[in-house]
Amino acid sequence: MKKIKIIYLIALLTTGCSGFLDEEFRGQIVGNASLSTVEGLDAALVGTYKGLGNTWATGFLHPTAIGATMGGEDVTTHKASNKQEFREFDQFAVSAGNSRTGNLYNGCYKAIQGANNIINNYQATVGDLTLINNIAGEAYFIRALSYYWLVRLYGSIPFITTAEYSNDLLTIEKTDPATVYALIESDLLAAEQLLPMKKRDPGRPNIGSAKALLADVYLTEAGWPIKDASAYAKAATKAKEVIDNKLAYGFALMPTFAEAFDNNPDVPTLDEYVFQISAFQSIGGNTNYGFSAMPGDIAGWDDYFPEINFFLNFPAGPRKDKTFRTEFVTDDGTTIQWQQTQTKHPYYGKFWIKGDVKNYVSSLPFVMMRYAHVLTIYAEAKARSGGPDEEAYSAINAIRVRAGLAPLVGLSADAFAAAVVQERAWEFAGERTRWFDLVRLEMVEAANASKHPDDMTPINAITREDYTFPLPLSETLANPNLGD
């Protein structure tokens, strides 16, 4: 017995044991083989969206996009409390370490990585070709959307079209906006070809979503910093394609403005939503609605609320009534007016949850673009490329009439365009639209020139440098080539 054991031992000591050290990858998803089936490709698409909707971490499902657009005169934040990072945007003093843009930035790039992976691999996927194309179309759409946000927020940015990591990516330099816009355009054109007519789910795009986004991209390209005036015509054409096919895409204006902001978490989507990021409370939910938009006097968080002059100048009507809240009932039953709140500001009622639910989270979708956007894009782009036609008037007036305002009539092209831009400020108040309008039309300084005494003013004079934000510190530290 013992002798046998010694022989075992000697044998063990002298033989290699290569099989013993082989790594077992059970449960691990290694390599791109998983993308070879349509189910795997679809799973990778789910992961791609995650970057845009990772509550509290990355993307849009928490008040980070609203923070990034506080340079608009439609929105501000608490002057003290814990809102230092939001204030930096309102005061035009955004530091590179501001985590609010970092959250958006990281989320967009995580989505881009996932989209790159699908775009570069879907042609080898085996399965239902229609579904494969839909998936690829969504990936193109997500990549375009993500780059669109990045290029508008940061200007020149790292430009990545591969999914695989390699060390040389850590030394790349920034790419100018024109190159980024070229990719956004081609991605959306590809998406138009690949996406279905109807959304697969409320939280996904269809052809109409891609066209609408492309129209918005063209409108932006016509302004600062690309300033390609010919893009207005393209914007108008693309927007018109959406308007003409709205029934096929399932888009419509809600009959009343209030219905567009009913904010019922039990309703997954509305026809008015051209594209939304869906949220489900059990995996994080959407924290833009509810406490974020409510005053501290009723347990709200005071993250964002309208600037006073913006509110005062807002034209009266059912839209104003839905947009703002000016009266609040505190816990002890007292009713206070907005002037009596701790912040002395009115609040955005349009971002309260149906029934004034006091919560910081809900399953409400985060609406990235409404059909009303498409109408205003057409109206403005048409006005700036040949002048407003009847269709342009009917587009903008559909919005004005719903808001309780008189229709526009007989304006010059410039006056019409200006009226549409102003209409957008009101219609999309707090909806992360005004800031980008101010930037592309180079109106940031003018819009921030006259502030109500109870609102914060820019710390230093606004310059073109303030039109974009510094890249997050994490980026320039990891890759010094991205510095100025």
Partner 1 sequence: MDNSKTIQQVLYALMRITLPQVFMMIAFTTLVAAAPTRGQEILTRKVSLDVHDKDIKAVLSEIEKQTSVVFTYRSKLIKSSRKISLKVSEAPLADVLKELFDPGIRVLALDDEEEIVLRPGTDEGSTHAVAPYELRISGNIVDEKGEALPGVSILEKGTSNGTTSDGSGNFALNVLDQNSILTFSFIGYTTQEVPVGNKTELAVSLQPDITSLEEVVVIGYGVQKKADITGALTSISPKEFAGQPVTRLDQILQGRASGVQVSNVGGAPGGDVRIRVRGANSILGDNNPLYVVDGYIGADFTTINPSDIATIQVLKDASSTAIYGSRGANGVIIITTKNGGKGGIHVNFSSQFSTSNRIKKLNTLSAGDYAQTINERAAATGGNPFFTQQQVDNFRVSGGTDWQDQVFTEAAGQEYQLGVSGGGDKTTFAVSGNFLDQDGIIRNSNFKRFALRSNIHSQITEKLSLRLNVSGTRKNNLNNGITAGTANPLVQALAWAPTTPPYDENGNMTLRDPTGSIFTNPLALMYDREYRTEIMIANMVGGLRYEFIPGLSLDLQYAVNYLNQQDKFNNGSIVTNNNPNAGRISSEQITLQSTNAINYSKTFADVHRIDAVAVFETQEFTNNKFNATGNTLLIPSLGYDNIGLAGSYQIGSEFSKWTLLSLMGRVNYSFKDKYLLSATVRRDGSSKFRGDNQYSVFPSVAAGWRISEESFMKDQDVVSNLKLRASWGLTGSQAIGPYATQSTYTTTQAAFTNNSARSGIMLGNPGNPNLKWETTEQTDIGLEAEFLQGKFLIEADYFVKNTEDLLLNRQLPGYVGGGNIAENVGVIQNKGWELAITVPVFTGDFGWTTSFNISNVKNMVKSVGGIADKFFTSSNVGAGMSTQAEFVYAPGQALGAYWGLVYEGTWKPDEADQAALRGEMPGDSRYQDLDGDNAITAADYQIIGSAIPTTTSGWNNTFTYKGFSLNVFFLGMFGMDKLNYTRAAALTGGADARQPILDDILDRYIPGVNETSNIPAFSTTNRNYTQSTRFMEKGDFIRLKNVSLGYDFPKRMVKDFGVRLFVSGTNLLTFTDYNGIDPESASSGAGTNQGGDTAQGIDYGSYPNSKTYTVGVNLTF
Binders in 54-83 for partner 1, by CB under 8 A: 79-82
Q: How far is the CB of 342 from partner 1 (least distance, A)?
A: 5
Q: What is the largest CA-CA distance in the chain?
A: 108
> DSSP character for 206?
-
Looking at residue 305, what DSSP letter applies?
B
- Chosen residue from 37, 43, 245, 262 binding partner 1 by CB under 8 A: 43
Return the closest-CA partner of residue 65 out of 136, 152, 161.
152
Q: What Å distances lie between residue 179 and 159, 176, 226, 438, CA to CA?
A: 9, 6, 10, 22
The minimum distance between CB 143 and partner 1, in angstroms, equals: 13
Tokens 């006073």 correspond to 308
Residue 347 to residue 169: CA distance in whole angstroms = 44
- Segment 442 to 461, residues that bind partner 1, using CB under 8 A: 453-454, 456, 459-460
Minimum Å distance from CB 344 to partner 1?
6
Q: Does 12 bind partner 1 (CB under 8 A)?
A: yes
CB of 219 to partner 1, least distance (A): 26
- How many residues touch partner 1 under the rule CB under 8 A: the total is 118
* Run of H or E residues at 324: strand 324-325
| Minimum distance from residue 221 beta carbon to partner 1 (Å) | 22
Structure token digits, residue 456: 């914060």
Residue 33 in the binding site for partner 1 (CB under 8 A) = no
Tokens representing residue 116 in the block: 């790159």
> Does residue 247 bind partner 1 (CB under 8 A)?
no
Tell whether residue 131 is a contact of partner 1 (CB under 8 A).
Answer: no
Across 259-322, the runs of DSSP E, i.e. the strands, are: 273-277
Answer yes or no whether residue 329 interacts with partner 1 by CB under 8 A. no
180 and 151 Cβ atoms separated by less than 8 Å: yes
Write each residue from 276 to 305 as x if it is in contact with partner 1 (CB under 8 A), else as -, in one continuous string.
--xxxxxx-------x----xx-x-x----
Of 69, 76, 113, 433, the one binding partner 1 (CB under 8 A) is 113
Q: Is 334 one of the binding residues for partner 1 (CB under 8 A)? A: no
Q: Does 191 bind partner 1 (CB under 8 A)?
A: no
String of DSSP letters for 325-344: E-EEE-TTS-EEEGGGSTT-
Residues 127, 196, 250, 268: which binds partner 1 (CB under 8 A)? Answer: 268
CB nearer to partner 1: pick between 177 and 365: 365
Task: Tell me how far, at minimum, the Cβ of 210 lies from partner 1, in Å.
Answer: 17
441, 421 in Cβ contact below 8 A? yes
Scanning residues 374 to 393, which ones bind partner 1 (CB under 8 A)?
Answer: none
- When binding is defined by CB under 8 A, the residue of 130, 334, 340, 463 that contacts partner 1 is 340
The string of DSSP codes covering 41-85 is HHHHHHHHHHTTEETTTEESSSTTHHHHTTTSTT-B--SSTT-HH
Of 68-76, 357-365, 375-383, 397-405, the segment contacting partner 1 by CB under 8 A is: 357-365
Answer for the pair 289, 352: CB distance below 8 angstroms, yes or no: yes
Residue 409 binds to partner 1 (criterion: CB under 8 A): no
Stretch that binds partner 1, among 240-248, 263-271, 388-396, 428-436 (CB under 8 A): 263-271
Q: Tell which residue, 376, 395, 296, has the closest CA to residue 77.
A: 296
Give min distance, CB of 23 to partner 1, in A. 5
